Amino acid sequence: MSDKTIDPLIPVEGWHVLHLFYKIEYSQWQLFSRDEQLRAETNLSTLVQDIRATPNTQLLLLGIVSPKADLGFMLLTPDLHTANLFEKRLTQALGPDVCTSIFSYLSMTERSEYTTTEADFIESLGKEKAPGSPEFESALGDFRARTSKYLKDRLYPNLPDWPVVCFYPMSKRRAEKNWYALPFEERKRLMGGHARVGRKWHGKILQLITGSMGLDDGEWGVTLFAHDTYDIKGIVYEMRFDPVSAEYADFGEFYIGLQLPLDELFRRLQL
C-alpha cells in the first residue's frame, strides 16, 4: 500500500479505476535465464496476491485477444496513491523493459445524473396510488431499496469473474450535434431510452460506466462483462442505433480480454 507518511487521496464517493494494457517484449524476456524468469513470475504472482489482499481493492487479470496487446489489468481501489503505487509495480513486476505500456486509462466509479430521483418517483407513484397508503409506502420502500443497491453497484462494484471483458473509452460530441448544449430534461429523456436498450441484455451483459472527465483523454470508460462474445457484439451493435450513440457518441479503441488465472495467463503468454 501507499507510504504511511503520505495522506491517502480518497474521493468523497467512488473508487479510482485503472485499465492497463501491455505488450510483452519477448526478446528481452528471452535474455533472462530460466531461474530469472521463474523469479519474475513469482514476483508478479506475489504482487497480485498483495493487491488483492488490500482492503476495497480488486484486480482483474486479462489475456488480450489480438496482437493489439498481450496482457491487461483492471485495478479498482479507493486511494489514488495506492493506485499509482500498484500501477508502477505491475509495470515492472516481470523485470525492466519486459512490459511495454500500449494503452492506459484512469477513471472513477460514479453515479449517473440521469437516474430517477425519489421526487420523480413519488410524483409518478402519486398518480397510481394514494400518498400515505400502505401500497404507496410499500412501493416507495421497494424503490429506495433498489436505488440503494443500484448506487452501491455503481460506486462500489463487486466485479464478476465472467470470462469475456470488453473495454473502450467514449466521449459525447460537441460539434454539429452538441450533447452539452441540450437541456437537462432532453438529455435525461434520451438516456432513459438508452438505458431501456441496455436492460434488454440483463443477465447476459454486466456494464460498468466510469467517469474520466479531467482524469484522462475521454469522458467515460465503458467496461462490459459477458459469458459470450456474441452478446458483446450484440449490445454494442444495437446501441449504435440509439440516438445517444448514433448522434452524440464518439468511441475510442476497443480492447477484448479474457479473465484468466495467473498460471494460465503465463501459459497463454508463453512465459
Within a 13 Å sphere around the CA of 193, how many CA atoms are in the beta-carbon half?
14
Active-site option among 168, 180, 230, 248? 168
Tell me the C-alpha distance between 86 and 80, whole Å. 10
83 exposure class (CB count in 10 Å sphere: 0-12, 13-18, 19+): buried
Type of residue found at 12? V
DSSP 76-90: EES-HHHHHHHHHHH
Q: Which residues contact 187 (CB under 8 A, 6 or more apart)?
A: 114, 179
- Establish whether 22 is a catalytic residue: no
C-alpha cell at 37: 524468469
Assign 171 to helix, strand or coil: strand
- Closest residue by Cα to residue 168 from 238, 78, 74, 60: 74
Residues labelled catalytic: 168
